[in-house]
Amino acid sequence: MNVERIAELKKQRNAVILAHTYQPGEVQDIADFVGDSYGLSVEATRTEADLIVFCGVLFMAETAAILNPRRKVVLAEPTAGCPMADMIEAEDLRELKKEHPGSTVMCYVNSPVDVKALSDICCTSSNAVKIASQLPESGEILFVPDKYLGSYVAEQTGRKMILWNGFCPTHARITPDSLRHAQQEYPEACTMIHPEAPPESRTLADKVLSTGQMCSFVQKDRHTEYIVATERGLIHTLEKQNPGKRFYPVSDQITCPNMRKGSLEAVRKSLEGTGGLEVTVAPEIAEAAKKSLQRMLDMS
């Protein structure tokens, strides 16, 4: 019922549905575009739709609204936030910048808009290494808010980085013990881990990849089994894209409660105008944040 109604309302409203790969399978299945944080931000710049219904968390819908201010953006599940994004405020970054004058501020998109506005450049997990390696080599990089992604970028680039103490509570639950346990159970599987996971777990994996990179990697890789060390929603995406392969979660603990809130009912209500949260960003903050986001798009 919801599925047919959604298709009908989508036409009536000239709407597009964008969904992150961590969303529940039923939501991914009705979306026009399913992708990672980077892919969704690019898609938001391209769409001609009047209404973007965003199935993900607040910072993603805000990014879409900033990059495409002429479109109405509705976050399907109004209470879906990101605890990592909430681990830093604009005032924290102002203080940090005072302590490190002359540094370049690199801001993971999983962050509040006013933090993006105070930053020099944004990144997602798929382009963070590429962007850091293009920044001037002379100064240090202040990386906010994810200390684990930041430490991975520092390892990969050899750049001097000052890290904020934020982290993703979901990926922090990928412990070395849980990984070893999964690896014992599936000895033939290739282990892929997201760079938001802690360093001591990353070192046990075969590949460190963002969600988008996991999708591309599996399509050309020779393995037939994979341990997927990230939010379990990605397993639905991978299974659809690779019907002959098998994917195993590290444990059933690796779920993002905010991404799990996604539902067909929330999408339908957003299209009907009876639910969802219209996302708007104050113009002066949006303008400054857009510069950091645009630099990211240009350097990716």
Binding site for ligand 13P (CB under 6 A): 36-38, 82, 110, 124-126, 168, 196, 210-211
Residues 150/163, Cβ–Cβ less than 8 Å: yes
Q: What are phi and psi of 258, to 5 degrees?
A: -75, -40
Supply the minimum distance, in Å, between the C-beta of residue 213 and ligand 13P: 8
**Beta-ladder partners of 162:** 142
Distances in whole angstroms, Cα of residue 270 to Cα of each of 13, 20, 120, 207: 11, 17, 34, 38
| 258 makes contact with ligand SF4 (CB under 6 A) | yes
Tell me how far apart the alpha carbons of residues 168 and 201 are, in angstroms, rounded to a whole number.
14
83 binds, among ligand SF4, ligand 13P, none (CB under 5 to 8 A by kind): ligand SF4
Does residue 142 contact residue 102 with C-beta atoms inside 8 Å?
A: no
Please tell me whether residue 231 binds ligand SF4 under the rule CB under 6 A.
Answer: yes
Q: How far is the CB of 17 from ligand 13P (least distance, A)?
A: 17
52 belongs to the binding site for ligand SF4 (CB under 6 A): no
Any residues with CB less than 8 A from the CB of 214 and at least 6 apart, and which? 192, 194, 207, 228, 230, 234, 238
Q: How far is the CB of 189 from ligand 13P (least distance, A)?
A: 20
Q: Which is nearer to ligand SF4, 104 or 110 (CB)?
A: 110
Segment near ligand SF4 (CB under 6 A); pick from 70-78, 81-89, 95-103, 221-229: 81-89
The answer, yes or no, to whether the previous bond of 145 is cis (omega within 30 of 0) is: yes
Q: Considering beta carbons, is residue 208 or 256 the nearer one to ligand SF4? A: 256
Establish if 84 lies at the interface with ligand SF4 (CB under 6 A). yes
Total residues at interface with ligand SF4 (CB under 6 A): 13
Q: Which stretch binds ligand SF4 (CB under 6 A): 7-15, 175-183, 255-263, 267-275?
A: 255-263
Q: Is 127 in the site for ligand SF4 (CB under 6 A)?
A: no
Query: Which of 185, 208, 63, 64 minimizes the C-alpha distance to 129?
Result: 208
Furthest C-alpha separation in the chain: 59
For the bound state, the minimum distance from the C-beta of residue 38 to ligand 13P, rounded and expressed in Å, comes to 6
Task: Name which of ligand 13P, ligand SF4, none residue 210 binds, using a CB cut-off of 5 to 8 Å depending on partner kind.
Answer: ligand 13P
Residue 225, phi then psi, degrees to nearest 5: -130, 145
Asked whether position 114 contacts ligand SF4 by CB under 6 A, the answer is no
Contacts (CB under 6 A) with ligand SF4, residues 166-195: 168-171
Is the separation of the CB atoms in 283 and 44 below 8 Å?
no
Binding site for ligand SF4 (CB under 6 A): 57, 82-84, 110, 168-171, 231, 256, 258-259
